Amino acid sequence: MDFSLTEQEELFRRAVRDFVTRELAPRAAETDAQATFPTDLLPKMGDLGVFGVLLPAAYGGSEAGMLSYLVATEEISAGCASTGFTIVCTVSHAFVLNAFATDEIKSSALPRMAAGRAMGAFCITEPDAGEDIGAIQTVAREEGNHYRVNGTKTFISNAGLSEFYALMVRTRPGYGVDGLTMLLVEKGTPGFTIGKMESKLGLRGHPLGELIFQDCLVPKGNLLASEGAGMQVYMSVIGPAFLGCGASSVGIARAAFEKAVAHVKERHTFGQPIGRHQAVQMMVFDMATAIESARLLLDRGAYHSDRGRLDPVEAMRAKLFATEMAVEVTYKAMQVHGGYGYSSEYPLERHYRDARAHTLHMQTPEVARTLGASLMLGFGPPGPGH
């Protein structure tokens, strides 16, 4: 199994890295400090092909595949993790629309998303329903050719920034996950408002907020898949979302590692570079090993995903390992910088904060381990709601 980049993939990686170096990375500190998103750069990334890697050519995509998506996500997250995760959310959303939306919706939404002129959001979490998807209480009731939606979603990535929202709702009360349905809601639909935006420890430029639905009428044509198939749609997004989150973590870790390597060569103590000290050498070697191990898990997941053979547990493992790896690597990179690593004048503390966020996105490590083990052992998902 060879995960080496093809010539086309390598050219794509270089183009994205060049863009990141010139335009994205120089603004990363400002994006973090001011908690603002660089929206003006989205069409430029669309022109590069970042948003269309998993989409058909008919909708402006390149059909480049999952590995190209992970390559782009890693490069962008190395320069600005807030932007990298916004890409993960939009590419994952577009992937779902391409699989389950009507031709009319795909023709309208996907070309705009591929061009970086419309973002997407996947909306699951509620005040009393996070990992326990069967506890979702946002209700959609049929009224003629529409669904009337009422409820609140919290901690939604790309809130406010997105034009399109894939919304998990309950259409059959009392049926656990079997009563869940996925609807597409467009920004500006009457009854749909953006609520409180979160102030966060890391990924401060990435918008995260509350969505409020009050008698919001959504056309039945906006149904994704079919009524009651919400979990089917959700499971389909695990590949691009989990692998993308892992690739973003690798990008953060790589950026911190590269700064650490440069520092240990330049910083001197006791008459020699600190990279000559055995304790520092061991940390550098462990960091490099951990980053490459995570990348290999992700590449393997991409390989299987492009061939329709991705096991959800495989994606969960890759995401879990990569996100926890990034926290460890950024911690060690801060450590070898000493007091400089702790200073907000240097990017190490930002990398550390950004890495920590990904251990909470989509699935916590604790849930990953218990759910993954249950699935591996053939017990099925733990808990009620089925």
SS3 157: strand
pLDDT at 381 over 70: no
- Provide the pLDDT confidence category of residue 384 given band limits of 50, 70 and 90: very low
- HEC string of 75-138? HHHHHCHHHHHHHHHHHHHHHHHHHHCCHHHHHHHHHHHHCCCCCEEEECCECCECCCHHHCCC
C-beta pairs of 265-269 under 8 Å, 24+ apart in sequence: none
* CATH numbers and ranges of domains, the chain: 7-118 (1.10.540.10), 121-227 (2.40.110.10), 237-376 (1.20.140.10)
pLDDT at 336 over 50: yes
DSSP label at residue 27: G
Give me the percent of the chain exceeding a pLDDT of 70: 98
| 101-131 pLDDT, tens digit each | 999 999 999 999 999 999 999 999 999 887 7
pTM: 0.95
